[in-house]
Structure 1
Amino acid sequence: MNQRGGHGFSVGNAVDWNLAASFGGKLARPEPPATDYTRTQAVTQLAESARAAEIPVREVTGLAEGEGIPEARVVNRPDWIRAAAHSMRVMTGGHDAAVKPRAISGRIAGVQTGAVLAFVSSGILGQYDPFGDGDGDGGGELLLVYPNVIAVERQLRVNPADFRMWVCLHEVTHRVQFRANPWLAGHMSGALAVLTEESAEDMTKVVGRLAEYVRDRRSNTEEAEPNSAGILGLVRAVQSDAQREALDRLLVLGTLLEGHADHVMDAVGPAVVPSVATIRRRFDQRRHRKQPPLQRLLRALLGIDAKMDQYTRGKKFVDHVVSAVGMERFNAVWTNAETLPLPPEIDEPQRWIDRVL
């Protein structure tokens, strides 16, 4: 029996996480050129913005009232990679990082994981990690990746102070979501445990489902370009029923969390970010710009485009419900796993209102 209480072999035990962190750090792209003054200013301003964003986010959401405000950790790309490797080990049920996995396969998996983290590390502006070390209390930590913030604010040609606060509003909302509702981390980790545990299902059934999926795709007349929907379909084709249900739970939760954060950014933004309209417009244009073929494939494989879809669909859900019933009644969504939206309800929010409220 593994640490999660299941009988399968946890994926988290098959990766050399120390190697993933060190190799990923070496592969990370160089930071954008900046003076010491600019770097120091960005680090200081992000930390201050993360503190300043907390109160307006609490006021808009009605969550986490009365709690202390934890400090954010402002990091570079290798720091984020190390933190992400630690979080992935915890999320996937891996053993203590000091314990070595199977030598050859563990190192290969570590190199592969490190390469993925290195690719992702140049695009992450911030992240609330509910499984991070934080200040040692096990309550998670907020990471802000200052080189990426500098790079994007330059690319968008927006006011740096405003953009840094805008980023913090989104990420602080995630921190408030998880700290006000501690059960969310357990819900997420339980679904991940199912997804990352090797299935005892007969391999012939898996191969059969995969072959059927490929045949269906070939008979489809749509353009055969890799995209997140296609990759997701491929993943679902080889999953067990339990794994598909767990994936649905994670996708719905991610859509809700991202949409809620985007809703809060727009609700709080005008009061604390004077140029919020310009930032939103230019950032959305950046999200949807055309990518080179190889980058499109990597984004699809890593689920990045699916995450972009989560922002849009989730925000529409939250906007509709809050407009219809108000934020106080919307907050019933955080009661427990049963009050989270079901997959069809994300696109039909009235069905959630009718079922839960």
Structure 2
Amino acid sequence: MQTTPAPQSLVNWDLAAATAARLSTAGPRFTRRQALKEADGLRWAADASVEHVHRLTGLDAARDLRDSEVLVVDRPTWAQANVQAFSTLLTPAFGHLRQTRPEEFARASTALGTTATGVEAGTVLAFMASKVLGQYEPFCALPGPDGTAPGPEGGRLLLVAPNIAEVRVELNVDPEDFRLWVCLHEQTHRVQFAAAPWLREHLRTEITALVSGMFDKAETLPDRLTSGLRSLAGSARSGGSPRHQVPDDGPSPEASGSGDAEVPSASMGLLDLIQDPEDKARLSHLTAVMSLLEGHANVVMDGIDSSVVPTVKTIRQRFDHRSAHRSALDRWMRRLMGMDAKMRQYRDGQRFVKHAVQQMGMDAFNIVWDGPEHLPTETELHHPQQWVERMRGRS
């Protein structure tokens, strides 16, 4: 007697990708010639930015980035890449859940249930696809030598051409300068993962444990899964997952605000799932790591002056003005997706890195990339001198 294979996932990932592609808007209209010019300009900017990242960070990993690639993509392709990333990250947690709670897993993994979560995930990604300028994606397999079979796991830098062009036109800024400004932030993330080859697996392990713990303790799995998927997608902006994106709120030009130690957080849907102290500690750790990565990239951007990006002052001023004047609907959607938390993350991480570099110098600060024991805690993120003293004690 033939039996139906047991379901392996709680999300219809194919439907998620199809939904995102269907709901994603196309963005600005390009002729073929304009599209090629835009793509070539972004590839040039991505290449040119690496030298500046190396000069400002002192990380020799910038000299060899063969474990990752640069892709110029449209909005549906960005969404597809993120469907793949979420599937990669959630599959181990779903496997754990299937073993530990088989009956509830079976109820939640019906065709109706996986369709609902697939549509939810696709809808969220379609919205985000129109907002993201660039993203370093660490969880993917690069093509092998023959161009078909997957090779060693690496990463990829995604530059969303229609979004970059749309914002650049809206700001009325120099095309080459704006492309380079965006790429500087994203290439910094690419260099970070090259400098810390252990970081990819460290994050994967922590995320799997966190998501497994959330679902282990969820009372109503389908409802919690829907809320969690929304939060995981939103945490691309808020630090709950390793999405390192230049949002259209900017690579923020300079840390702003009162300087109070406001704790960054993921969107409330994710926090609602986390009650266990061990899970809270994991979320705190991931928040600190994401804040470090974003803050470090922003410090690199602050090191860029008009000798590199001639119109950088104009770009920063117009970006700030644009971010301050958004529609009520747009502001609401951003809060829902955790994007406000992402900007707090930029500021908190940037303050940490600036203080540490001022106290230690960039070369000494780079110990942070040597191993997970050198990463700041969330407390140290808000009190950077504690991290400085801990690192000085190690040396």
- 1:298 maps to which residue? 333
Q: Partner amino acid for 2:384?
A: P
Could you tell me which of 373, 377, 382 is aligned with 1:338? 373
Q: Deviations over 1:4-59 (max 9, x none)?
A: xxxxxx9x921111111111011002212333332221111101111111122122
Identical residues among aligned pairs (%): 39
Distance in 2, Cα, partners of 1:351 & 1:86:
38
1:309 aligns with 2:307: no
- The change in CA–CA distance for 1:183 and 1:62 in structure 2 (over 3 A counts) is same
- 2:203 maps to which residue? 188
- The change in CA–CA distance for 1:203 and 1:115 in structure 2 (over 3 A counts) is closer
Distance in 2, Cα, partners of 1:307 & 1:74:
23
Answer yes or no: is the 8 Å Cα contact 2:264–2:345 preserved in 1.
Answer: no
Distance in 1, Cα, partners of 2:286 & 2:74:
28
- The change in CA–CA distance for 1:342 and 1:124 in structure 2 (over 3 A counts) is same
- The change in CA–CA distance for 1:346 and 1:287 in structure 2 (over 3 A counts) is farther
Q: Deviations over 1:260-305 (max 9, x none)?
A: 001111213433211112212222333344441x433322222111
- The change in CA–CA distance for 1:68 and 1:119 in structure 2 (over 3 A counts) is closer
Could you tell me which of 9, 14, 19 is aligned with 1:13? 9
- 2:298 maps to which residue? 262
Answer yes or no: is the 8 Å Cα contact 1:75–1:146 preserved in 2.
Answer: yes
Unaligned 5+ runs, structure 1: 1-9, 208-227
SS in 1 for 2:154: coil
Could you tell me which of 115, 118, 141 is aligned with 2:126? 118
Answer yes or no: is the 8 Å Cα contact 2:136–2:155 preserved in 1.
Answer: yes
| Deviation of the 1:312 alpha carbon | 1.3
Q: Scaled by the length of structure 2, what TM-score is found? A: 0.75
| More strand, by proportion | 2
Could you tell me which of 36, 52, 55 is aligned with 2:51? 55
1:67 aligns with 2:76: no
- The range that moved more, 300-309 or 121-130, is 300-309
1:283 aligns with 2:319: yes
- The change in CA–CA distance for 1:180 and 1:108 in structure 2 (over 3 A counts) is same
- 1:37 maps to which residue? 33
Unaligned 5+ runs, structure 2: 1-6, 96-108, 144-150, 225-262
- 2:171 maps to which residue? 156
SS in 1 for 2:141: coil
Distance in 1, Cα, partners of 2:15 & 2:39:
28
Q: Partner amino acid for 1:166?
A: W
Q: Partner amino acid for 1:77?
A: R
Distance in 1, Cα, partners of 2:268 & 2:385:
27
- 1:5 maps to which residue? none
Answer yes or no: is the 8 Å Cα contact 2:295–2:347 preserved in 1.
Answer: yes
Q: Scaled by the length of structure 1, what TM-score is found? A: 0.82
Aligned residue pairs: how many? 320
- The range that moved more, 337-346 or 189-198, is 189-198
Q: Partner amino acid for 2:137?
A: D
